[in-house]
Amino acid sequence: MDFESTRTLAKLIAAGLAIGMGAVGPGIGVGMIGAGAMVALGRNPEARGPIMTNMILSIAFAEAVAIYALIVAILLIFVA
């Protein structure tokens, strides 16, 4: 195999691995945040406002890591 096709092969495998393995952590994290919010809401349904606001904020933090993985994958395919 010549160099160019090996390079394309490596790029595609790397992009797939980047987003595939990079989305596992944030997925679990967002699920745990949601579970914690549900438990808190069940214990104290009156505190719905602050619970929801803080949950959305924490989900954004966890989601950002998945976005970093997506950026790496996009960079690999379109720019590298």
Partner 1 sequence: MDNQEEKTSGSNSKKIAIAVGVILLFCTLISFVGSNVGALIFKSKPIGIFAVNPPHVVLPAEMPFPGVHLSNTMLTSFITIFILMLLFVSAGRKIKLVPSGLQNFVEFFYESLAGFIEDTAGTEYGRKFFPVCATIFLFVLFNGWLSLIPGFETIKFNGEPLLRNPNTDINVPMMLAVVSFCFVEYWGFKAQGLKYLKKFINVDSLIQGFKEMFSGRIKSGLNGIIMGLVSLFTGILEILSEFIRLVSFTFRLFGNMTAGMILVTVAIFLVPWVFPAVFYVMEAFFGFIQALIFSGLTLCFLVLAIMSHEEEAH
The angle subtended at Cα 39 by Cα 38 and Cα 41, nearest 5°, is 65
CB of 7 to partner 1, least distance (A): 20
Nearer to partner 1, 38 or 56 (CB): 56
Residue 6 or 24 with smaller CB distance to partner 1? 24
- Footprint on this chain of partner 1 (rule: CB under 8 A): 53, 56-57, 60, 63-64, 67-68, 70-71, 74, 78-79
Between 28 and 75, whose beta carbon lies closer to partner 1? 75
Residue 67 sits at the vertex; the CA angle it makes with 61 and 69, to the nearest 5 degrees, is: 120
